Structure 1
Amino acid sequence: MRKPPKPKVPDFESRQTLLTARRNAKMARSTHAYVRGNTSKFYDWLEQAEIRLPQGPAIWICGDCHTGNLGPVADANKRIEIQMRDLDQTVIGNPVHDLIRLGLSLATTARGSALPGVTTINMIEALFEGYVRAFDKDRAAADECGKPEVVRVVMREAVRRSWKHLARERLEDTQPTIPFGSRFWPVSKEERAEIDALFEKATYSKLATILRDRPDTGHVTVLDAAYWVKGCSSLGRLRYAVLLDVDGGVVEGDDLCLIDIKEGVKAAAPRYPGANMPRDNAERVVEGARNLSPHLGERMRAATLQGRPVILRELLPQDLKLEIEHIGQEQAQEVARYLAFVVGEAHARQMDNETRRSWLAELRRAKTKSIDAPLWLWSSIVELVGSHEVGYLEHCRRYALSAA
């Protein structure tokens, strides 16, 4: 029986052309997909906005806080919490940027779900309520905010998942290879050699041994590697999936480890002047994760590949994203309140008691009589929804012309 031909390794220019086309196609699916894939448009608006925003405490912020960047995240002991799961844009900056971007994401989800405008108003009020609650330690309990059904469902799924689920989802089977196809592309000999060399270093091989009670002295072998066509805003950067074997044997996934290697690039999110952050973009992402998402931060390392900064992290079966493409009218407020509470907790844990009380007082002082949320929050989200609707239609027009 003849062996199938070995897949061709696309050169850099071909790879970039294909990735750009895929990114444009993903962003043309909906306004919400356009919002998720176009972080820079949010910050372009921020530079030109005439709305006066409060200057919150200088803390680590997500910088790209939309619903898809929140979800169940497991720590090394398999404890699971809803936390931020993508920190590419993290900087020490103004916490209101996270709140506004989350509000934009929720508002475009509501519009895509054909919900009335009144529901969007209620969502923004609930968004503010949930965020403020995280700073009130007398009331700050996740159970009080109430996990919406969509969150409970994904948490139940995360708890029951095992290596087999991850392998079948990411690799299509549990065999120790990465199948080439639409998601995984072959790497060049030079890329594979650099990846092999990276995991010969003890600093990075230990990343594969710290979880699931693997022996810290276990020998780590690269079984397979592929270029990973993943994400939307990250398409076009270095992105690899690496399958490791820890201590040999490849026993039912216990000794297998799937590592995500992702290029760290300059953040579009503005940082506070004088903020003391790592200059290396990979180190910046890891440090931001340790502050905002401790479960994720402990499983990440900064490295260099092909002369570029990259972030390494082991993928766990429990790591899932919240897929909220459509939302019901009854759940809209619950989802907004709960996700804002999660973001608020990530911000609050970085503040001392005095800073937390001061920020809470500033937030409450900004409320108006016409809506149970600050006018700057409402006005910002309304302006952003309008500008992104226009941008989305223009993107679709350009995409249709290029496709033709």
Structure 2
Amino acid sequence: MPKKPVATNKLSSKPLNKRAKKLPEAEARQPLLTARRNARMARSAHAYVRGSTNRFYEWLDGIEGHALPEGPAVWICGDCHTGNLGPVADAHGRVEIQIRDLDQTVIGNPAHDLIRLGLSLATAARGSDLPGVTTVQMMEALADGYERAFDESAGEADIHAEKPEAVRVVMKEAVRRSWRHLAEERIEDSEPTIPLGSRFWPLAKNERREIDEFFRKTSVATLATVLRGAGDEADVEVLDAAYWVKGCSSLGRLRYAVLLDIDGAAVDGDDLCLIDIKEAAPAAAPRYAGARMPRDNAERVVEGARHLSPLLGDRMKSARLADRAVVIRELLPQDMKLTIEQLTRDEATKAARFLALVVGKAHARQMDVAERKAWLGELRKNRSKTLDAPGWLWKSIVELVSSHAAGYLEHCRRYATGPDAG
């Protein structure tokens, strides 16, 4: 009987099962992931905001003398900070700025998304050493951009003309990206293997076996084949897989990167597929009482994505792996994170207005004409002479910035001396 050939990289002679040394085994991951998450949150106040979703809702609920309007019952992001917005693409290459992370999505109060986005922008402004008056202007721009999504008479030309430079740059890059860009960014190599190191850790034998079996299911494999028009009968082979050390607030959940070959011809990016498998955990964002949502957390995430970010939602599936609810999606080259860290005064207001419009559109597409009109009326009520933004929005941002600043310093005291800090 002939000896079975060793699987090799089709672009080189390197064995696919080559593994780096001294990386954590599966049973040793959790303490390391927890330490890494805490260290990442200590790097900046903005990073702390991104990683403290649970605390955000605790603080918001605890603000005294504070009453938020009850907006229409729609799917909300639930964790609407600037890092969770960015370019996403559909199967035909169309690219738009949409919400790109829906772990916390629920049917809830759209005001929560607006406040979370405002807090994220206000924290970025503080990190950019901008004066307080700029934060005031940002909140006015935030309100203006969001309201435009519900105003039938508002034009959008001026909004798009005033895209912040960070958005212009990332959109230009997104539309010209290819598989090679994706591979070099995500796996630091354009060859069909996943190099182990600080970002990717080895799998246990049972994990790799479960992933191989997982992609033998037609319902799972078609996620990759349909996007390519390959049909349900196309062969899907797992070339490589690894535990993915990715995210901040989600760091520590089940997360795998899986490299697939479609129809056995992995000679270029058209035949390769990089899949993200992510465990779906219960949402911290409060849902409206009586709202009918899927009980399975992965189904909830996919359903929310389809309402809020259709380009992304149509590329996602819910499933179960190792008896856990997971969301699977193919990563496309155009999917990028929008990074807004350092802002100028001009860019700060542009960013606030534009990103609020993106979120407003995601909410508005779920409302009928009457609901949009009523919500717009609520947003424009009780304006003061000194601030062209809802009073409840400003009060929430001021108190949350204060709470997060104190929480961040306390977090740094406890965790900023770890090995991953800095």
Aligned partner of residue 320 in structure 1, secondary structure: coil
Deviation of 1:361 after TM superposition, in Å, equals 1.0
CA distance in 2, matches of 1:204, 1:340: 35
Matched, 1:152 2:168: yes
Q: What does residue 30 of structure 1 align with? A: 44
What are the Cα deviations for residues 112-163 of structure 1, in whole angstroms up to 9, with x where unaligned? 0000000000000000000000101222536535322211110000011000
Q: Does 1:110 align with 2:149?
A: no
Alignment correspondent of 2:114: 99
CA RMSD of aligned residues (A): 1.6
The 8 Å contact of residues 142 and 341 in structure 1, kept in 2 or not, is answered as no
* Equivalent position to 1:262, from 259, 278, 284: 278
> What code does the residue aligned with 1:21 have?
A
| Secondary structure of the corresponding residue to residue 91 of structure 2 | coil
- The corresponding residue for 1:360 is 376
Q: Which amino acid aligns with 1:79?
A: R
Report the alpha carbon displacement of residue 368 of structure 1 after superposing the two structures with TM.
2.1
Question: Partners of 2:63 and 2:213 in 1: how far apart?
Answer: 47
Q: How does 1:33-52 map to 2 (within 5 A)?
A: 33-50=47-64, 51-52=66-67
The 2-side partners of 1:259 and 1:27 are apart by 26
Paired with 1:142 and 1:79, the residues of 2 have a C-alpha distance of 20
Paired with 2:242 and 2:128, the residues of 1 have a C-alpha distance of 36
Residue number among 71, 86, 97 corresponding to 1:71 in the alignment: 86
- 1:15 aligns with 29
Write out per-residue CA displacement over residues 192-249 of structure 1, whole angstroms, 9 at most, x where no aligned residue: 1111111111111000012244344211011110000001001100000000000111
Q: Percent of counterpart pairs with the same letter?
A: 69
Aligned in 2, Cα 1:278/1:41: closer, same or farther, shift over 3 Å? same
Separation in structure 2 between the aligned mates of residue 368 and residue 5 of structure 1, nearest angstrom: 62
Contact preservation (8 Å) 1:218, 1:247: yes
Question: Which amino acid in structure 1 is aligned with residue 38 of structure 2?
Answer: N
Shift of 1:49: 1.9
Question: Counterpart amino acid of 1:281?
Answer: N
Superposition TM-score, scaled by structure 2 size: 0.92
Alignment of 1:111-130 (within 5 A): 111-130=126-145
2:9 matched to which residue of 1?
none
Structure 1 CA distance for aligned equivalents of residues 166 and 19 of structure 2: 44
Q: Distance in 2 between matches of 1:209 and 1:77?
A: 14
Deviation at 1:325, TM superposition (A): 1.0
Report the Cα distance in structure 2 between the residues aligned to 1:88 and 1:180, rounded to whole angstroms: 26
Aligned-partner Cα distance in 1 for 2:37–2:176: 32
**What is the aligned counterpart of 2:399 among 339, 364, 383?**
383
Deviates more, 1:214-223 or 1:100-109: 214-223
Structure 2: which 5+ runs fail to align?
1-14
Alpha-carbon distance between aligned partners in 2 of 1:222 and 1:11, rounded to the nearest angstrom: 21
1:250 aligns with 2:263: no
Please show how residues 113-192 of structure 1 align to structure 2 within 5 Å: 113-141=128-156, 144-145=159-160, 146-192=162-208
- Which of the residues 295, 301, 316 maps onto 1:285? 301
Task: Give the 3-state SS of the residue equivalent to 1:243 in structure 2.
Answer: strand
Q: Is the 8 A contact 1:69 1:85 kept in 2?
A: yes
The code of the aligned residue for 2:317 comes to R
Is 2:25–2:203's contact at 8 Å kept on the other side of the alignment? Answer: no
TM-score when normalising by structure 1: 0.96
- How much does 1:7 deviate? 3.5
**SS at structure 1 position matched to 2:226:** coil
Distance 1:316 1:401 in 2: 36
What code does the residue aligned with 1:364 have? Answer: R
Give 1:5 deviation, angstroms.
6.8
DSSP-derived class of the 1:312 partner? strand
Aligned residue number for residue 199 of structure 1: 215
Cα 1:13/1:193, change in 2 over 3 Å: closer
Q: Is 1:323 equivalent to 2:365 in the alignment?
A: no
Name the residue aligned to 2:317: 301
Partner secondary structure for residue 380 of structure 2: helix
Matched, 1:398 2:386: no
- For residues 223 and 73 of structure 2, the distance between their equivalents in structure 1, rounded to whole angstroms, comes to 30
Query: CA separation in 2, counterparts of 1:194 and 1:143?
Result: 51
What do residues 67-92 of structure 1 show as CA deviations (whole Å, max 9, x unaligned)? 00000000111100000000000000
What secondary structure, in the 3-state scheme, does the structure 1 residue paired with 2:257 have? strand
State the Cα deviation string for residues 263-289 of structure 1 (Å, max 9, x = none).
000000000000000000000000000
- Aligned residue in 1 for 2:12: none
Q: 1:55, 1:94 within 8 Å by CA — same for their partners in 2? A: yes
Question: What is the rounded CA distance, in whole Å, between the counterparts of 2:300 and 2:407 in structure 1?
Answer: 30
Deviation at 1:173, TM superposition (A): 1.6
2:171 aligned counterpart, secondary structure? helix
Name the counterpart of 1:89. 104
Task: Provide the C-alpha distance between the structure 1 equivalents of 2:196 and 2:286, rounded to a whole number of angstroms.
Answer: 38
- Alpha-carbon distance in 2 for matches of 1:143, 1:212: 36
Moved more, 130-139 or 341-350: 130-139
